[in-house]
Amino acid sequence: MRVSEFQNLMKTLYFHQDTKRGIEKTFIWLVEEIGELARLLKDKGYKNRKDISEELADILAWTSSLANLLEINLETALSEKYPNKCLKCDSNPCCCSSSINYQ
């Protein structure tokens, strides 16, 4: 499924409820889903892949709902922001990551 297909599915299924909830409360739901993922990763590590997978799906669903309310096409936004190359070094794969300190 393409990003645009998923975003349209979320719009078809939930736009009416999302509109009633509004942008701010939809954003809060998104943050709560990110928090649930954070707790899973912190408390259970990477062992429960099913639960992690479900939380990642929820995050994408709420992100799509928020984008729908803001009238942003995620597929377009993604391709413009990440044009198949690193924006800093202009390479694919990125060559500048070796200079980043991850500590």
The pTM of this model reads: 0.85
In a domain, 91, yes or no: no
Mean pLDDT, rounded, for 37-65: 91
Residue 80, domain member (yes or no): no
In CATH, what number is assigned to the domain containing residue 22? 1.10.287.1080
Indicate if the pLDDT at residue 101 is higher than 70: no
Residue position matching structure tokens 């009238």? 71
Q: Which domain holds residue 19?
A: 3-72
The reported pLDDT for the residue numbered 103 is 45
> Rounded to the nearest 5 degrees, what angle is found at the Cα of 8, between the Cα atoms of 61 and 3?
65
